[in-house]
Amino acid sequence: MEVYLAILVGIFFTVSIYLLLSKYVIRVLLGVAVLGNAVNLLIFTAGRLTREVPPIIPAGLQVPVDPTANPLPQALILTAIVISFSFFAFLLVLGYRSFQDLHTDDTDSMRFAEPVDEPAPPRGY
C-alpha cells in the first residue's frame, strides 16, 4: 500500500512542478494546490499506514506490542490542510485582482514595468 502511495506522491509532485512552470496564472494556482496535496500525502505516508492497531501503549510496557501508525503526522496534516487552503485562497484573490487590473492571466503580458518599445537593458557590465 505504501509503495502505491509513494508513486502517487511522485505523480503529484511531477504534475505540480509542471503546472508551476506554466506562464498562465490559473495553472500556477492549480500547481500550488496540487503541491500542497502532494506534501500532505507525503507526510501521511511517512507516518505509516496501519489502520487496525491503535497507538495505545498497554500498562507496564514502554512501547506498543504491534507496529502502530504515528499520530503526529496526522495532526500535522490537519494543520497543513488549513494553512494550504488559506494560502490558496489568498493566491486566488491575488490572481483575480491582477486579472481585473491587467486584463490578462499571461505572466509575460503582466510585465508592464518593462516597456515593449524601449531597447533591452545590457546583459553584462
Eight-class DSSP state of 8: H
Residue 121 has pLDDT above 70, yes or no: yes
Give residues with Cβ within 8 angstroms of 21, minimum separation 6. 31
Q: Where are the domains of the chain?
A: 2-51+69-102
pTM assigned to the model: 0.76
Query: What pLDDT, on the 0 to 100 scale, is given for residue 37?
Result: 95
List, for residues 20-65, the tens digit of each pLDDT value.
999 999 999 999 999 999 999 998 888 777 666 777 788 888 888 7
Look at residue 40 in the predicted model and tell me its pLDDT: 92
pLDDT at 80 over 90: yes
pLDDT at 70 over 80: no
From 109, 76, 88, select the one nearest 16 (Cα to Cα): 88
